[in-house]
A and B are shown apart, each in its own frame.
Chain A
Amino acid sequence: MKPRMAKKARVYVTLKRGVLDPQGSAVNRALHAMGYGEVSDVRLGKFIEVTVDERRPEADERKRLEEMCRKLLANTVIEDFRIEL
């Protein structure tokens, strides 16, 4: 069997603007309490590393990753996603 050629796609899932982020607010308050007064806002998101077969053409793979995001990795009611390939 030929070894699989793998490469890593990076998927960033972030909360949409306007969606409250209580975890981000808590981290923001903690940073303030630590003396980092320059911080005005913190938003938490997810970073997902997806290992894919690199032999698939990039445009095709990007399309499939977008599909994965819409179907599972992000909930588009509240989240945006960005893919780096």
Chain B
Amino acid sequence: MRVGVLTFPGSNCDHDVYHVVKHVCGADPVYVWHKDRLPEKLGAVVIPGGFSYGDYLRCGALARFSPVMEDVAAFAKAGGPVLGICNGFQILCEAGLLPGVLLRNASLKYICRDVTLKVDGQETPVTRGLIGRTLTMPIAHGDGNYFADPATLDRLEGEGNVVFRYVGGAPNGAARDIAGISAGPRRNVVGLMPHPERASEAILGRDDGKRLFEALFAA
């Protein structure tokens, strides 16, 4: 599968994602600069973590206006799988492709540590066959405190679109322990704060995160 890995000024997990997609999973990644258009015949798009535009104004607020995001919106609307990790999740929220917003962590501290997640909700392209499992992978963010109004949260839960939850309470204050959500015609747009690409090789600690990429490529 050909996978577009977006690079914004300030992205810093794009190489990690590229590495996991290519060398761990054997798929075919291609970097896409934010000012370019999406190439043809992509099977998926990953928006990696980092600090696009230095997090100026709000995390992800400026990146959403990059030319490539128009194509990402069209790709998502057509049912193409889009995975936003950390800053990628923030960008998808700012772009309106996912509901809600990621606020400053309740502790005001940048948190960098492993968390355990429960895979919840209905199946998405990255959670196929994983519902109910727990996965451990790191978070590394200052703004991961998921917020939406209660009606939106109820709707997300009712529709099975809360797809990752922190086990043992959200470290960042996120509403209803939400670590990741989905949207789109086939739940094909998924955003999560934890970093699956940083937990994809046992030799580097653990490989729970690889399951998400494997689920995506098994489709």
Interface set of A (CB-CB < 8 Å, partner B): 19-20, 22-23, 26, 72-73, 75, 77-78
Contact = CB atoms under 8 A, between A and B. Distances in A.
Contacts of A73: 57
A23 B148 contact: no
Interface stretch (B97-105, B112-120, B121-129, B190-198): B97-105
B108 A26 contact: yes
Contact of B108 (A19, A23, A72, A78): A23
Interface in B77-101: 94, 99-101
Nearest to A15: B103
B61 interface: yes
Given A22-B145, A72-B65, A77-B148, 19 more contacts: A19-B103, A20-B103, A20-B106, A20-B147, A20-B173, A22-B103, A22-B104, A22-B107, A22-B173, A23-B104, A23-B108, A72-B57, A72-B62, A77-B99, A77-B100, A77-B101, A77-B147, A78-B103, A78-B147
Contacts of B22: none
B34 interface: no
A40 B147 CA distance: 24
| A-B CB proximity, top 10 nearest | A77-B101, A22-B108, A22-B106, A78-B101, A75-B101, A22-B104, A75-B58, A26-B108, A78-B147, A23-B108
Which size bracket describes the interface of B in this complex? 20 to 34
A31 to B, nearest CB: 16
Contacts of A22: 103-108, 145, 173
Nearest to A73: B57
A84 B120 CA distance: 46
B205 to A, nearest CB: 30
Contacts of B149: 77
B91 to A, nearest CB: 12
A5 B216 CA distance: 55
B17 to A, nearest CB: 26
Contacts of A20: 103, 106, 147, 173
Given A22-B173, A77-B148, A78-B147, A72 B61 contact: yes
15 contacts: A20-B103, A20-B106, A20-B147, A20-B173, A22-B106, A23-B104, A72-B61, A72-B62, A72-B65, A73-B57, A77-B99, A77-B100, A77-B148, A77-B149, A78-B147
A77 B61 CA distance: 13
